[in-house]
Amino acid sequence: MGNKPKIVKTEAAWREQLTPVQYHVAREKGTERAFTGEYWDCKEPGVYRCIGCGEPLFDANAKFDSGCGWPSFTAPLNEEAISETIDTSLNMRRIEVTCSRCDSHLGHVFPDGPAPTGLRYCINSAAVDLKKEK
């Protein structure tokens, strides 16, 4: 993130900016149903940006078909773009992934991805916006 300022908005401002589904996922740590999001099966090149602040998060080149029903990536564009925290909700221990700039919930990261990282960043379509390459 470097010297980029943290983005802080009121709940009302977030609700005005985001659709109800985007708000539920990004601000209430919700999830969309598997195989229903806009990008779960998308193969177009480009950069996936945070729905909350536009921060570049994942390159489409790092996307792979995990079969889980959500967009899955082997790595973020850069380590500073995301934050990871322990999530013990739903009686599970998972690693939550959020945008470092605006704290929007993106999804979770799991240690069952392909080489080279062995990671699977399982990201909600509602939390990102694909800026397609021209």
Say if 3 falls within a structural domain. Answer: no
Q: pTM here?
A: 0.94
pLDDT of 3 reads 67
Q: With a cut of 90, say whether residue 86 has pLDDT above it.
A: yes
Catalytic positions are 122
Read off the CATH number of the domain in which 71 is found.
Answer: 2.170.150.20
Q: How many domains does the chain have?
A: 1
Closest CA to 70 of 35, 18, 119: 35
Say if 70 falls within a structural domain. Answer: yes
Say if 79 falls within a structural domain. Answer: yes
In the block, residue with structure tokens 């229903």: 36
Distances (CA, A) of 68 to 3, 96, 106, 131: 35, 17, 15, 23
Q: Which strands form 120-123's sheet, in the order they lie side by side?
A: 63-64, 72-73, 120-123, 105-110, 94-99, 82-87
**Mean pLDDT for the chain?**
95
Range of the domain at 114: 11-132
